[in-house]
Amino acid sequence: MSEQSIHFRHLILFYIRKKKNVEEMRKKICDVYGEDAINKRTIQKWIKRFNSGDFNVENKKKWVPHELMEKNLHDRISIWRFIAKAVQRSPFFKHTNHFDTCGHSRKILTKLMNSEYNKRNTGKVNA
């Protein structure tokens, strides 16, 4: 996060206390820092945050993925196998993209479905 962004947030807070509206804030900031310094939506977002009582000018912490433990990996694989079996049995899943919209790769699902198919028909698992 740049120092300029933090400075703009302080200015927005200052202008809120001066009872300025979004247009006035943007005009005053852009007159000094240039036309593309800040946009209305950014000002609106910070006004909403400040008016809710949160006066912290820093960005909120974002969720960061954790390290995947061996046990969690095995749990995920078993869940995917269960889902792959359900998909093979259910015509509902064949016509939708539920797994893609959840952010999961269809390749993993196809690989697990093929693995289950091979296990049933040959007794071998090709992973």
Q: Say if CB 45 and CB 16 are below 8 A apart.
A: no
Task: Count the alpha carbons within 13 Å of 44 in the hemisphere toward its beta carbon.
Answer: 4
Could you tell me the residue ranges of all domains in the chain?
2-52
Cα–Cα distance for residue pair 86/17, rounded to 1 Å: 58
- Per-position pLDDT tens, the chain of length 127: 689 999 999 999 999 999 999 999 999 999 999 999 999 999 999 999 999 999 999 988 877 667 777 887 788 888 888 888 877 766 555 554 555 555 555 555 566 666 666 666 665 555 4
* Lookup result for tokens 């005053």: 28
User: What is the model's pTM?
Assistant: 0.49
On the 0-12 / 13-18 / 19+ scale of CB atoms within 10 A, 78 is exposed
Cα–Cα distance for residue pair 5/44, rounded to 1 Å: 14
**Hey, what are 20's tokens?**
């300025």
CATH number belonging to the domain at 2-52, selected among 3.30.1460, 1.10.10, 1.10.3470, 1.20.5: 1.10.10
